[in-house]
Structure 1
Amino acid sequence: MSKHDIHERIEARRTDLVSLTRDLWANPELALEETASAELLASTLSEEGFEVEYHVGGMPTAFVASYGDGDPKIGILGEYDALPGLSQKSVPYRDPVEAGGSGHGCGHNLFGVGSLGAAVAVKEAIESGDLSGTVRYYGCPAEETLVGKVYMARAGVFDDLDAALTWHPSHVSAPWKGRSLAMNSIEYTFHGESAHAAQSPESGRSALDAVELMNTGVEFMREHISDDARIHYSITEGGGAPNVVPAEASVWYFVRAPSRHTTEKITDWVDDVAEGAALMSQTTVKRRFITGCHDYLANDTISDVLLSNMRELGAIEYTESDREFAAELQETLSEETIENRLADLQSDEREAARDRALYAEPMASFDEGTVMKGSTDVADVSWITPVAQFWAASWPIGTPSHSWQAVAANGDFAAKSAVYAAKAIAGTAYDLLVDPSILEAAAEELDATRPSEYETPLPESAEPPTNMEVN
């Protein structure tokens, strides 16, 4: 079976793959609540002959589906969690399916299915005897809370891989070679004494005071940390009635920096501020480490093979009708939003894309040597095995992720990007399986660029959280 044959197998499944993206889109489920989504993907893979391991890393919605035997072992990552508050119909104006409901604003309904299409195609090539080795589909929940792959990594499920491939919907198509920020997610809960706030305030000790003192202390930290670090917080519990001194209050922090070392250093300072706030307010504080992740290490060796496969496929085949709907969605975006998104591109690509509703041609990496000011749990996999990932043009030019416009596209024409992604990943996996020298070079690159061996950022006592919604 040639690479062209693999592409043809995926093309023959186009209707089924698009239908799967629609099923996930119509039933958006939040992080670690993706019961139906995970079961749909896992059962599809099981029916295709994959051996499926469930409840991976202590998470009911995490699974690993394997086919084949021996080396090389190629992993394909899939995600399927949605976002809170982004319910939206596939129309060019704001219209939720369910007011306040969830929606696939990051395109994980496409992500999970595109990766599945690739895994099945590679499996068929192994089954026919044209390829040898093992292909694994990793059902990764809770990416939006940066939980899934970190807890899976701690469980060791990526340890024996020779490489991993993945992708993500976006407004352009290109390999992702930039770095990302390492991150810690921690909740601080303060405990005080309740009292009547007017009649006997001297009897109370306000946990909310402690939260506010902590936040003030962190604000004064900001001028003394590096410019590329980030600290964000949200008060998740602040008390009830104003005339009752709050006996309990909580604040949730994200700490980010370009390296684990710097992230841990800043986190230690934030911990000290929390202790100081408790001391000043005569309360106590309990720290709960929710999750943490590393910075992403792109593997240029495999990324270049991936780009070659993308260029071989050419542009995603959107129709005139697709472009018309995309143009309607794009009209709802401000010029500032579009220009901010285009600013990331190289000048020639920026000019080519500026006047297009959909720019579906693959381009070279535009983020090499940069640090994305966000975080991803793909990063932890990239410290364990060589990883390549790419953006695929799924949304109108200028569309931000986590927007209702992205949700509308993800339930409509963007399904075609999932089929494209399946072909690009399957083609790249084919190259890795037939040419051992690529994997050897990729492993050498990882050894040369990784600062140290992977260590989980999770404390031994950490357990996967539930009901932690992140926008």
Structure 2
Amino acid sequence: MSDLNKKFLIEYIDEIQEELRDISDKIWKNPELQYKEYYASNLQKEYLKKHDFSIDELEGMDTAFVASYGEGEPVIAVLGEYDALDGLSQKVSITKEPILDSGAGHGCGHNLLGTGSIGAVIAVKELIKLKKLKGTIKYYGCPAEEDLSGKVLMIKKGFFDGIDCAFSWHPFDINTPIRIPTLANYSVKFRYNGISAHAAQAPYNGRSALDAVELMNIGCNYLREHIFDSCRVHYVTTNGGKMPNIVPDFAEVWYYIRGIKMEHVRDVFDRIVDIAKGASLMTGTSMEYDIISGVYDYIPNTILTDILSQNMKLIGVQNYNEDDYHFAEKLAETVSIDKRISVSSVLSGNKDITKMNLHGEVTDDTFTHNNCISLSLDIGDVSYIIPTAQCSCSVWPIGISAHTWQSCASAGSDMGFKAMLLASKSIACSINDVMLDEVIINKAKKELKNTIGSFEYIPII
């Protein structure tokens, strides 16, 4: 029965692919930044309503929603996103051609991410209806992934309560299940208040907030030797005063603190706060800080990831044509080979696969060579409370980085859309496996419990 179900799911997604393409293209052409994704979220809600999903909107989060279909257990979540990136406006072109100067663009492919997940849940809905299956499928419209806060706030509001497992995917340059963690992250702004004075006439009357920021940064740079090897600390001074002839009475610095494990990040954060306090004492200023956002490292659930891997291999890469390969080749030529090898090694385990240009296969050994993916995602928080699996699909050429004009061009292309179909079908077929065998969820939950042990998940924000 399972094979027939999967045949049905795959064929159904093929049937609605032009509808999915229309949604993806519209979102790509109307990029919106975090918490302002009104067009994208409304477009998705209307499409899901048309397919008999009920919609729950989230108080205080205008662009977040949950769409549900079915009854009883298991209750399976599929996660979607739709926010864009500032400054990445781009045509579907092999040269850098902004549609709007300094405009937003889908350089992380979230127009495809959300749409692909919708394709999966609608196909599963049709299967539930046809086969009269027991179970509930939910699509999570998650805003502000780029802000690393959307899913965290949804968790805090209780919208993930009662979920048995979750699936998602993300555009990258390689087709593979994701088997290693992402980085936990704190995003923190430190603010100093001092006393202004004329910088030449009476500097001794001033208390420089900028001096405090610079001393804090120096202290943190000396701290680097004494933190975990896996941790990264980045900062940018967001306000250093207005004019050089005024002792600045206000300054602000924005820090990111990353690490493989949240407990490592918390340890480094506590030490940085002490340094910030010390800088305040040294300069006679006052200091306060705000945690802007924070996400946990991603815990891949082996049980669910194995199932996702099997279905990716079953479906295989979609039918790329000569135009797709040509587009990928020309885009790849805009980046030096050294940079492409460096970028692709993050996901390929230091194997040089850049000669392919477009990853025309599904592989499951790329992630076993690295101990983490050097980026942060808010799906990490979900994975601490619910067994979670996700995959990567090759929306852009091998060695192209996300958050670039090249990745934005790819996300609006036929090549990118075909990669989305692989994700959509793989997730749908994996949900079929889980719905037909309750043992899978029980094993997945047991694995998560064993992984986190006594560790208590507490949202950062």
What is the TM-score of this pair, normalised by structure 1? 0.93
Q: Counterparts in 2 of 1:421-460, with a 5 A limit?
A: 421-458=423-460
2:379 maps to amino acid: V
Structure 1 stretches of at least 4 aligned residues deviating more than 6 Å after TM superposition:
none
SS at 1:183's partner residue?
strand
1:364 maps to amino acid: D
| Deviation, structure 1 residue 454 | 4.4
Q: Percent of aligned pairs with the same residue? A: 41
Between stretches 229-238 and 336-345, larger displacement belongs to: 336-345
Could you say if the C-alpha distance between residues 447 and 94 of structure 1 is closer, same or farther in structure 2, counting changes exceeding 3 Å?
Answer: same
SS at 2:207's partner residue?
coil
Counterpart in the other structure of 1:173: 175
Output one character per residue of 1:213-257: Cα deviation in whole Å (capped at 9) or x when no partner: 111111110111111111111111111111122211111111112
Counterpart in the other structure of 2:279: 277
Cα separation, 2, equivalents of 1:262 and 1:21: 38
1:43 paired to 2:46: yes
Counterpart in the other structure of 2:113: 111
Output one character per residue of 1:310-341: Cα deviation in whole Å (capped at 9) or x when no partner: 11111121111111111111111101112113
Q: Counterparts in 2 of 1:261-300, with a 5 A limit?
A: 261-300=263-302
| Deviation, structure 1 residue 397 | 1.5
Counterpart in the other structure of 1:394: 395
Counterpart in the other structure of 1:373: 374
Question: Is 2:346–2:373's contact at 8 Å kept on the other side of the alignment?
Answer: no
Question: Is 2:69–2:138's contact at 8 Å kept on the other side of the alignment?
Answer: yes
Counterpart in the other structure of 2:355: 355
Q: How many aligned positions are there?
A: 456
1:139 maps to amino acid: G
Cα separation, 2, equivalents of 1:302 and 1:388: 6
Q: Counterparts in 2 of 1:124-163, with a 5 A limit?
A: 124-163=126-165
Cα separation, 1, equivalents of 2:339 and 2:41: 34
Counterpart in the other structure of 2:252: 250
Consecutive unaligned residues of structure 2, counting only runs of 5 or more, are none
1:403 paired to 2:404: yes
Question: Is 2:344–2:400's contact at 8 Å kept on the other side of the alignment?
Answer: no
SS at 2:255's partner residue?
strand
Cα separation, 2, equivalents of 1:211 and 1:335: 38
Question: Is 1:17–1:419's contact at 8 Å kept on the other side of the alignment?
Answer: no
| Deviation, structure 1 residue 119 | 1.0
Cα separation, 1, equivalents of 2:177 and 2:5: 24
Output one character per residue of 1:386-445: Cα deviation in whole Å (capped at 9) or x when no partner: 101000111112111111111111111201222221111111111110111111111111
Question: Is 1:297–1:450's contact at 8 Å kept on the other side of the alignment?
Answer: no
The one of 21, 29, 34 equivalent to 1:31 is 34
Cα separation, 1, equivalents of 2:249 and 2:354: 54
SS at 1:255's partner residue?
strand
1:417 paired to 2:419: yes
Counterpart in the other structure of 1:318: 320
Output one character per residue of 1:68-124: Cα deviation in whole Å (capped at 9) or x when no partner: 111100000001111111111111111111111111111111101000111111112
The one of 14, 19, 28 equivalent to 1:11 is 14
SS at 1:333's partner residue?
coil
Q: Counterparts in 2 of 1:60-71, with a 5 A limit?
A: 60-71=62-73
What is the TM-score of this pair, normalised by structure 2? 0.95
Cα separation, 1, equivalents of 2:219 and 2:109: 37
Question: Is 1:159–1:385's contact at 8 Å kept on the other side of the alignment?
Answer: no
RMSD of aligned residue pairs (Cα, Å):
1.6
Consecutive unaligned residues of structure 1, counting only runs of 5 or more, are 463-471
1:211 maps to amino acid: V
| Deviation, structure 1 residue 345 | 5.8
| Deviation, structure 1 residue 274 | 0.9
SS at 1:372's partner residue?
coil
